[in-house]
Amino acid sequence: MPGNERILFIDDDKQVVFIVEDLFNDLEYEVTIFSDSLKALEYFRKNSDSFDLIITDQAMPGITGLELSVEILKINSKIPIILTTGFGDKVILEQAKKIGITDFILKPFTIVGLSRIIRKVLDRKE
């Protein structure tokens, strides 16, 4: 189901970034993509009202997805965040829920799986 919301997507894997960018464009989401978590945080600080959803990878150089999420939620406590991770580590997933991450998806994810979770989270926000 297409949308018109604005998404900030952060993942240090350039191949994932290209695939996701095409997906979001096909689904009519406006997407801003970063492969550097620190640059994404800096951009979000200046543009925090410009997004409806954040999607971030957990394992990244600079700061992790959990650390990035903590900082983002300090700026805007109501923004939904989806954490992507290649590890089904229950400790990370429990920490994610405790800090306020809305949902998560395990890698490798399918395009259909990602689009469904995005829609679920965005519809819950409304």
- pLDDT tens digits, one per residue of 49-94: 999 999 999 999 989 999 999 999 999 999 999 999 887 777 788 8
Q: What percent of the chain has pLDDT over 90?
A: 61
What are the residue ranges spanned by the domains of the chain? 6-125
Question: What is each CA distance from 60 to 2, 3, 41, 90, 111, in whole angstroms?
Answer: 29, 28, 13, 18, 21
Residue found under tokens 């801003």: 32
Residue 108 pLDDT grade (very low, low, confident, very high; cuts 50, 70, 90): confident
Which phi and psi (to 5°) does residue 84 adopt?
-105, 140
Beta bridge partners of 114: none
- pLDDT tens digits, one per residue of 10-54: 999 988 888 888 888 888 899 999 999 999 999 999 999 999 999
- pLDDT tens digits, one per residue of 27-38: 889 999 999 999
CB count in 10 Å sphere of residue 46: 7
Q: Does domain 6-125 have CATH number 3.80.10.10?
A: no
C-alpha–C-alpha distance, residues 63 and 88, integer Å:
19
Question: Could you tell me which of 68, 119, 117, 65 has the C-alpha nearest to residue 89?
Answer: 65
C-alpha–C-alpha distance, residues 39 and 50, integer Å:
16
Question: Could you tell me which of 24, 16, 18, 68 has the C-alpha nearest to residue 45?
Answer: 68
User: pTM value?
Assistant: 0.92
pLDDT for position 46: 97
